[in-house]
Amino acid sequence: MSRETDAAGRVVAIRGAVVDIAFTQDSLPPINDALEIRDTGRRAVLVEVQAHLDSRRVRAIALQATNGLRRGAEVFHPGGPVTAPVGDAVLGRLLDVTGTVGDKAGPLPADTPRRPIHAPPPPLRAQNGTSEIFHTGIKVIDLLAPLAQGGKAAMFGGAGVGKTVLVMELIHAMVARYEGISVFSGVGERSREGHEMLADMTDAGVLDRTVLVYGQMNEPPGARWRVPMTALAIAEHFRDAEHRNVLLLMDNVFRFVQAGSEVSGLLGRMASRVGYQPTLATEVAELQERIAATGSAAITAIEAVYVPADDFTDPAVTTIASHVDSTVVLSRAMAADGMYPAVDPIASSSILLDPLIMGEDHVTVANQVRRAIEHYRELQDVISLLGMEELGREDRHIVERARRLQRFLTQPFAVTEAFTGLPGRSVALEDTIAGCKAILAGEADDWDESSLYMVGNLDEARAKEEAARKAQDAA
């Protein structure tokens, strides 16, 4: 940021993260512009203009801690909104909302280009449709909740259900398959999680094509509120200037909404439904509508969303859900049963699961898999009380095949190889469909269920079954 030589104004009031600034001239900086507060003996504090109080005063929200700041401190207007460093220099680095590095690899080069974090979404005429599929190599997602290039997918789930592992595997898939860039935005994350992610990505060999942007839990709400915008600015540079595919991962979008609610309260705005900010829909739309495919490259977003009290009617959840193309619901019950990835095949869905996009065969198999697993769940109480023997022949066949389908839809991940000892598997969509079709047709009815657990395609399961039988015969 360029700096003006003379102070444009002075701090007149400080209330936590809210700072009121009086200017000497009637010309006030626009909303969303950045201001620098320089106080004697401390580093500059970056704030963002949020309201014009009168012809001389503005109200700003701090993006950095205001501890020790005093009234009368000089304020400078560099011109324009907050900017983020972009380009190849930020690959493999950990940044905060203002682009300051948070790792131990030294400062960024002085000539690193910068880009404003606020930008309009690409015009409709420049956007491509979302019919091109983003193949993840993860069976349950590719079959039941396919993702689109340039589309948005939301992962709804709590802590401990394998969300971070799934995020890292998607990064691995993007880098390996598309030669693309990954941008991870940690919104309200713990610093421990950031350093763990940094270490895990280094070990997995994907860090050199990944950017980590964090707004930690202990930072002011303004920093947590704007950190997704910083990540978006970096992603947009790779898409628009370098024409490279970008995978944008955000954890957790709900914390972005929470931070916006805190900012709204600090600015004195009246709360709306369930205590959320009145501008909730606008804020989410400003974030989500910038994620799109344009020309020869796309930003594909995978967003983790916390569901408060498992209430899917919560305004924040419904607002976020209205923007996404694919919904991936992580199930705690499935995680407890060891079914990883713990993606609920019934609750997960995608608008792309259409015969005109995915083909008749894919949609038919996906619907048959869903029906079988749903029927099994309906009968689970009966099975628990009376046992499988009380089921009719047809119901027993459906239940046995549903259990085998559930196990077939698990798979080992490349990023968990060090913990499980199982090499990761990336499965082609055709192999997933063929495997599910064979199980539904009864080809695996006499197989042991464990032969289908944590495998890639059906050929691998078949080989596992044959090896188990040979070992049994030899014994």
Task: Say which residue the tokens 């259900």 belong to.
Answer: 161
104 catalytic residue (yes or no): no
Note whether 454 and 412 are within 8 A (CB): yes
470 catalytic residue (yes or no): no
Q: Which residues pair with 284 in a beta bridge?
A: none
Note whether 324 and 156 are within 8 A (CB): no
Whole-angstrom distance, CA of residue 358 vs CA of residue 140: 15
Q: What is the widest separation between alpha-carbon atoms in the chain?
A: 92
pLDDT of residue 345: 95
Note whether 258 and 228 are within 8 A (CB): no
Ranges of residues in the chain with a pLDDT under 70 are: 1-6, 130-131, 174-179, 204
Q: Which residues pair with 74 in a beta bridge?
A: 10, 38
190 catalytic residue (yes or no): yes
Whole-angstrom distance, CA of residue 252 vs CA of residue 259: 11
**Closest Cα partner for 127 from 267, 299, 347?**
299
pLDDT of residue 2: 43
Query: What single string gives the DSSP state of each residue in 295-337?
Result: TTEEEEEEEEE--GGG-TT-HHHHHHHTT-SEEEEB-HHHHHT
Cα dihedral 444, 449, 455, 461 sign: negative
pLDDT of residue 418: 81
pLDDT of residue 175: 64
pLDDT of residue 451: 95
**Closest Cα partner for 78 from 7, 14, 24, 16?**
7
Q: What share of the chain is helix, strand, coil (3-state, %, to 5)?
A: 40, 20, 40
End-to-end CA distance of the chain: 74
pLDDT of residue 1: 47
Note whether 64 and 223 are within 8 A (CB): yes
pLDDT of residue 191: 74
pTM of the model: 0.88
Whole-angstrom distance, CA of residue 433 vs CA of residue 435: 5
Note whether 262 and 92 are within 8 A (CB): no
Cα dihedral 159, 160, 163, 165 sign: positive
Query: What single string gives the DSSP state of each residue in 36-62?
Result: EEE-TTS--EEEEEEEE-SSSEEEEEE
Residue 227 CA from chain centroid, whole number: 13
Residue 244 CB neighbours (<10 A): 18
Dump pLDDT digits (tens) for 417-449: 888 899 999 999 999 999 999 999 999 999 999
Whole-angstrom distance, CA of residue 452 vs CA of residue 128: 39
Note whether 91 and 210 are within 8 A (CB): yes
The catalytic position among 48, 169, 189, 219 is 189
Residue 285 CB neighbours (<10 A): 15
